[in-house]
Structure 1
Amino acid sequence: MPWWTHLRGRPFYHPLDDEHPPARVFMLRRLIGRERPSRVLREAQNALCAWPWGRAQIARLPDEQTPPPATPIWEPRYTAPLWRLRLLAEFEMRCYDEHLAAATDWLLTNAPPPDAIPDDAPINLNALVLSVPLAFGFESDERVQMRLAHLFTTLRQRAWPQSPAERADWLAQAAYVLTWLATPPADLVALVADALLALDAHVPSRWRRFGAPIFDQPDLLFATRVLLELGVRDARLGAWVAAIEAAQHADARAGWYLAASRYEAAAAPLEAEGAFSRWLTAQAIYVLNAWYGDA
């Protein structure tokens, strides 16, 4: 049975319009298979880098003249530079921009080392920090390599939180970091997938409410998408895919809605809570395509 028979209506047209450049680039890369140097993808990527909403976020980032923060790097929650950078990373704004590069360098300089993270820090702060430079092309930076080595060791030692709910969040963030690597270690992909899927009955209740940006609050859609991007096809993942499929609305747009908005870092929310979301719809369509595509 073709994968698109799992969709109600034709929701894929909406993420491909010009209203949400990150959703359009996401669809072109993952659903339509437009890889560089595709003209269509290149034009969409250029539009994303010139996007006024995204440029407004970049303009509010620290630069090489910004002093170290007087408060923890994650405070205030969802408005500090860490969160704005993470927002841009989630939207995959991989643009050559000196301000963005300077802000990423500022983050790597001022974030606490992975072996000295305070107890009151967000879950898996090291993975949160890593997702930013990896998204923006800093993988070879020695500070990034040091943080990756620490994350890999922590995973292999299974030194993650004991609380199942916290462990689910921690593992989802770790898995997201692996998606940014050119060649993620196969043993770590298998380890993270098995540990995360074993928590199915213990994931936080908010995992069933799909939100954006993710920041430090993963959900079922995010975790499923990440595991599929890593090539995971474990049968246990089928229940998560089914839950995502069931969340599709039966209205005219036939898409997925934003149940939890965390756009505090932005000057203006990009999509309204409780409304149709191009960004979530693009990801949900990817999940159904990746899972059912070979069926």
Structure 2
Amino acid sequence: MKKNPLLQVSDLSVTFQTNGDTIRAVTGFSCQLDYGICTAIIGESGCGKSVIAHAILRLLPETALVTGSVQFKGKDLYSLSLEELNAIRGRQIGIIFQSPDRALNPTYRIYRQIDVPLRNHQVVPEKKRKDHILTTLRNVGFSHPNEAARLFPCHCSGGMNQRAVTAVVLSLLPDLIIADEPTKGLDSLRVSDVKSSLLKVKDEGRTLLLVTHDICLAQDLSEELLVMYAGEIVESGKTQDILQSPMHPYTRGLLKSLPENGFIPIPGSAPSYANMPSGCRFQDRCAYASERCNNNLELLNKNGRMVRCHLFC
């Protein structure tokens, strides 16, 4: 008997009002996260990836208009009280933020950054807490965890603080981890450390939602891939299928822009969120654009792959 999904996001849209403009940051986003699976969201900076990560946990500002449904273990997160939601945040759904300098308390040592949420959520017995904290610090790449635990964030590099944030989240043993650009600002060695810690999370049967511009990281970690452009999904399916034979012209362009594929940039720039074109949002940058691209198009199922393109009508 198939389990219900751990997380079900349905028709999520996020809109902001800024200086009289309506900014449609995310439009009609849907995805399903099954237990023990890593799903990655990739796309250029500004495509709405991080907005989705924050919307799931209701971390967006009050000015954001959010519509759609976010179901976690069958519960609608947008119908919960703040007290009920806070019991889920951190303990059941953890998020690794991409701005560690803002995620960490500048007056706490690294040890206390991890210890406080562990105490609040009572994850491990007190007598085992120190060993648990030091083990977690070692798992995210601190070769001398006792020394790292005594540091304040101001004593750490950006990469060290990113690893500290990762340790805070992983120490709580959540069922779902949302990793929002977890390797941003890290050198290749530390990227490997964080990747290893996330792979260990998968081995433990927990679920990952990876938000990244690093396609190689998505390839190494994820089974399912969502490709976003200008606030909406343009292609989704099995990670290896998409990366080996991309269907949407944007996905093809994204892969061609990788250094190992010639470092060929996609011409032009993404449209303004305050003035989206009708129909396909990629048409002004697409070599295959035609008159029919002015018409709106839903995601189409092509042999198990979902793609939003008139080429496949």
Pairwise same-fold verdict (TM > 0.5): no
Higher helix content, 1 or 2? 1
TM-score when normalising by structure 1? 0.30
Which structure's residues are more often strand, by fraction? 2
Greater relative contact order (Cα < 8 A, sep 6+)? 1
